[in-house]
């Protein structure tokens, strides 16, 4: 082994006693330098007699692109205070199979790249990387002050292409994510309230959410002061699916003998669901106007969508109540079955829609 390799500065207190290359990887043996006495990992005392030697195999940062494997000869000391104890090594955790510097590099890259990329980059197992990532996040959370939220936002998102769900809870004011858990049932979100504790639960003023009965009931069970606020984004998305899409399909079926008109309606989905102010050019605007002029049912549900959104903008409880009653009556009298059905179901949730007047918040905060 070249002599200058013996004292590489990477491993304080140890020298390289063997150096080999197998395929692409570098294998190094490290042994304690004689002038560095062991330090007890219990009480930090230096100079106790060596009890025994043990080899530990571990990974370090790659050197010039080559994976690095270390075999380190660690000492156990016979400490007068602590008894037999592992020696303390600054660049190595107590039971770690990775050096501190490798663990730090992995955790750093986890904040920038997907886990599988980081695993490939360092030639580590996916589970190892995931563990380091979790530890990094936990340390970040520990460093923050204890949260004391007044307004919460709860939302669910799909994992694994929609087969499983997770719930996320956020502080609406600090925008800090407070909790993430698997599932979207009452039982699944209960641990969040347990963690928050009765005193902090009692201080919650409002919780924004989708019209999801599970969240709704669980919030009421734990937070006596909290008003539930239903989120405009979710309601409008639901309206698009259950009313606009339904009417569009019905109309296309009704016009099955008029191929040109049928095609116009089948291709109109995007135009109808998009906000009018987001239409890119006059061509799209003219197409939308023509479509609505030619089809009474589509025009009705389109105008009712605007009316629904306006409910979230009401300035006073009184103005809201009037607009809400008008909207429900129009839906009922429209003669459009899916619209009347949607309105009937929505009417059970009126409190959570009215709350929006007092608590202008929405789960869309989670999506920014
Ligand atoms: Zn000790």
pLDDT tens by residue, 110-151: 888 888 888 888 888 888 898 888 888 888 777 777 889 998
Name the pLDDT band for 162 (thresholds 50, 70, 90). Answer: low
pLDDT tens by residue, 3-40: 444 555 678 899 888 888 888 888 999 999 988 899 99
Using the mean position of ligand 1's atoms as its centre, give its distance from the Cα of residue 54 in Å.
18
**What value does the mean pLDDT take over residues 330-347?**
92
pLDDT at 362: 56
pLDDT at 270: 74
Using the mean position of ligand 1's atoms as its centre, give its distance from the Cα of residue 89 in Å.
14
Using the mean position of ligand 1's atoms as its centre, give its distance from the Cα of residue 80 in Å.
7
pLDDT of 286 over the 50 cut: yes
**CA distances, 190 to each of 169, 210, 212, 368 (Å):** 12, 17, 15, 26
Q: Distance between CA atoms of 275 and 97, rounded to whole angstroms?
A: 55
C-beta separation of 78 from 84 below 8 A: yes
Using the mean position of ligand 1's atoms as its centre, give its distance from the Cα of residue 50 in Å.
12
**What value does the mean pLDDT take over residues 195-201?**
94
β-pair partners for 167 = 156, 181
**For 151-230, which CATH superfamily applies?**
Ribonuclease H-like superfamily/Ribonuclease H (3.30.420.10)
Strands 177-182 and 164-171: antiparallel
Name the pLDDT band for 326 (thresholds 50, 70, 90). Answer: very high
Name the pLDDT band for 180 (thresholds 50, 70, 90). Answer: confident
Using the mean position of ligand 1's atoms as its centre, give its distance from the Cα of residue 34 in Å.
20
pTM, full prediction: 0.52
Using the mean position of ligand 1's atoms as its centre, give its distance from the Cα of residue 84 in Å.
8
Using the mean position of ligand 1's atoms as its centre, give its distance from the Cα of residue 132 in Å.
28
Q: Distance between CA atoms of 46 and 23, rounded to whole angstroms?
A: 40
Using the mean position of ligand 1's atoms as its centre, give its distance from the Cα of residue 75 in Å.
13
pLDDT at 243: 93
Q: Distance between CA atoms of 106 and 136, rounded to whole angstroms?
A: 10
Count of alpha carbons within 13 angstroms of residue 134, beta-carbon side? 7
pLDDT at 9: 60
pLDDT of 179 over the 80 cut: yes
Using the mean position of ligand 1's atoms as its centre, give its distance from the Cα of residue 139 in Å.
27
pLDDT at 192: 94
Sequence ranges of the domains in the chain: 3-97, 102-143, 151-230, 235-358
Using the mean position of ligand 1's atoms as its centre, give its distance from the Cα of residue 87 in Å.
9
Using the mean position of ligand 1's atoms as its centre, give its distance from the Cα of residue 41 in Å.
6
Determine how many CB atoms are found less than 10 A away from the CB of residue 366. Answer: 20
Contacts of 338 (CB under 8 A, 6+ apart): 242, 243, 246, 247, 250
Q: Distance between CA atoms of 243 and 336, rounded to whole angstroms?
A: 9
The DSSP element (H or E) to which 57 belongs, if any, is strand 50-63
Using the mean position of ligand 1's atoms as its centre, give its distance from the Cα of residue 1 in Å.
36
Using the mean position of ligand 1's atoms as its centre, give its distance from the Cα of residue 69 in Å.
29
pLDDT at 212: 65
Name the pLDDT band for 368 (thresholds 50, 70, 90). Answer: very low
**What value does the mean pLDDT take over residues 290-316?**
84
pLDDT at 358: 67
**What value does the mean pLDDT take over residues 177-186?**
84
Taking phi first (over 0 means left), then psi (-120 to 50 degrees means alpha), and beta for anything else, what does residue 102 get? alpha
Q: Which of 1-15, 99-113, 249-263 has the lowest mean pLDDT?
A: 1-15
Q: Which of 37-41, 257-261, 300-304, 332-336 has the lowest mean pLDDT?
A: 257-261
Using the mean position of ligand 1's atoms as its centre, give its distance from the Cα of residue 51 in Å.
12
Q: Which of 258-267, 313-322, 341-350 has the lowest mean pLDDT?
A: 258-267
Cα dihedral 346/352/356/357 (nearest 10)? 90
Determine how many CB atoms are found less than 10 A away from the CB of residue 293. Answer: 10
Using the mean position of ligand 1's atoms as its centre, give its distance from the Cα of residue 183 in Å.
47
Strands 206-209 and 227-230: parallel
Taking phi first (over 0 means left), then psi (-120 to 50 degrees means alpha), and beta for anything else, what does residue 18 get? beta
Q: Distance between CA atoms of 192 and 152, rounded to whole angstroms?
A: 12
| Furthest C-alpha separation in the chain | 96
Which of 44 and 10 is assigned the larger pLDDT?
Answer: 44
């Amino acid at each position: 082994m070249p002599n200058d390799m013996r004292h590489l500065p990477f491993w304080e207190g140890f020298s390289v006693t063997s150096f080999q290359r197998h395929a692409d990887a570098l294998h190094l043996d490290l042994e304690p330098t004689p002038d560095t006495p062991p330090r007890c990992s219990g009480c930090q005392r230096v100079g106790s007699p060596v009890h025994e030697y043990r080899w530990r195999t571990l990974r370090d940062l790659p050197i010039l692109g080559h994976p690095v494997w270390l075999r380190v000869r660690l000492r156990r000391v016979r400490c007068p205070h602590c008894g037999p104890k592992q020696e303390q090594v600054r660049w190595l955790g107590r039971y770690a199979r990775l050096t501190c510097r490798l663990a730090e590099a992995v955790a750093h890259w986890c904040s920038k790249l997907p886990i599988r990329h980081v695993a490939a980059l360092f030639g580590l197992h996916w589970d190892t990387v995931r563990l380091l990532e979790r530890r990094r996040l936990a340390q970040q959370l520990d460093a923050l002050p204890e949260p004391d939220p007044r307004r919460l936002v709860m939302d669910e998102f799909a994992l694994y292409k929609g087969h499983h769900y997770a719930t996320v809870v956020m502080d609406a004011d600090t925008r800090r994510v407070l909790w993430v858990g698997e599932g979207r049932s009452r039982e699944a979100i209960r641990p969040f309230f347990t963690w928050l504790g009765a005193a902090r639960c009692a201080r919650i003023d409002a919780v924004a959410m989708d019209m999801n009965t599970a969240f709704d009931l669980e919030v009421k069970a734990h937070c006596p002061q909290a008003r539930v606020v239903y989120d405009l984004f979710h309601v409008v998305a639901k309206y698009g699916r259950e009313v606009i899409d339904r009417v569009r399909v019905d109309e296309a079926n009704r016009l099955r003998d008029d191929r040109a008109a049928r095609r116009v309606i089948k291709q109109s989905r995007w135009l109808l669901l998009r906000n009018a102010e987001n239409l890119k050019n006059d061509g799209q605007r003219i197409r939308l106007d023509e479509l609505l002029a030619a089809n009474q049912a589509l025009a009705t549900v389109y105008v009712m969508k605007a009316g629904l959104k306006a409910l979230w903008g009401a300035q006073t409880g009184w103005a809201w109540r009037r607009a809400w009653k008008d909207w429900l009556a129009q839906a009922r009298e429209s003669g459009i079955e899916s619209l009347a059905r949607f309105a009937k179901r929505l009417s059970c949730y009126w409190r959570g829609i009215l709350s929006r007047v007092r608590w202008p918040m929405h789960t869309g905060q989670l999506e920014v």
